[in-house]
Amino acid sequence: MTTRVYNEIIEISNSDTQNFWHKRAQNSDGLKAVLLGDDKNAHSKRNEKECRILMEQIKDLEELDILDIGCGIGRWAENLYGKIRNYTGIDYSKGFIKTAKERFREDENINFYEMSVCNMTPEILAQKYNLIICTGVLMYVNDSDLEQIFRKIRDFSPEYIHIQESISLMDGRLTLDNFESKELKSNYSAIYRTQAEYEQYFKDFDIIKTDLLLDDEIGGRKETNARYWIGRTK
């Protein structure tokens, strides 16, 4: 049974979501693996746009100490490579972490760990970061874990945060619960929260830039889009 649930808070299966991404890591490569869909040109344009937006807001940081939550294959390590002093990427997909380690095997200051966003702590990662990146992760996290995740991000006391997430453009949220996606050729679960639902978690941050990311050329849809927030810790 496949479901689209509107305006109702339900939980999606963490194990099913993790299995979905394990399969993506095995069967896809490059940006296609992490940005979904088959349009490589759109993936490239989207990635370039995301990078440009972030770089415009963190010009004052000459060197970056980065925590990348949901790092995938390490696209942000590649995007920001020339400014990185230290980079830590975490992802709960063993396949993505294996690929990322191989891609950056010569870089001692770039490290990847198999770890869930729900399990990260300063004690485990033992690193001070001036930039925390979390893109395309929170839509796969249930409401019961969101407060804890934002508290952990705050506990790192980063100078900047960059959060980017797929959202609902409707009055309420949309949840895909084991939805049969013809585009992805797989059943798929995700929570498209509203902008307001996410922004209740930003009370510890001054948001300096936020906007919708996608247009028709790079994946914008009628009901959903991606929104980014760039902020500084208060």
Into how many domains does the chain fold?
Answer: 1
In this predicted structure, what is the pLDDT of residue 32?
47
In this predicted structure, what is the pLDDT of residue 34?
46
Query: With 60 as the cut, is the pLDDT of residue 35 above it?
Result: no
Tell me the β-bridge partners of 4: 176
In this predicted structure, what is the pLDDT of residue 41?
66
Strand order through the sheet with 174-181: 3-6, 174-181, 186-192
Rounded (5°) CA angle 151-157-161: 80
CATH value at residue 94: 3.40.50.150
Host domain of residue 107: 3-233
In this predicted structure, what is the pLDDT of residue 25?
74
Top-confidence residue, 36 or 159: 159
Average of per-residue pLDDT values in the chain: 87
Residues 22-41: what's their mean pLDDT?
59
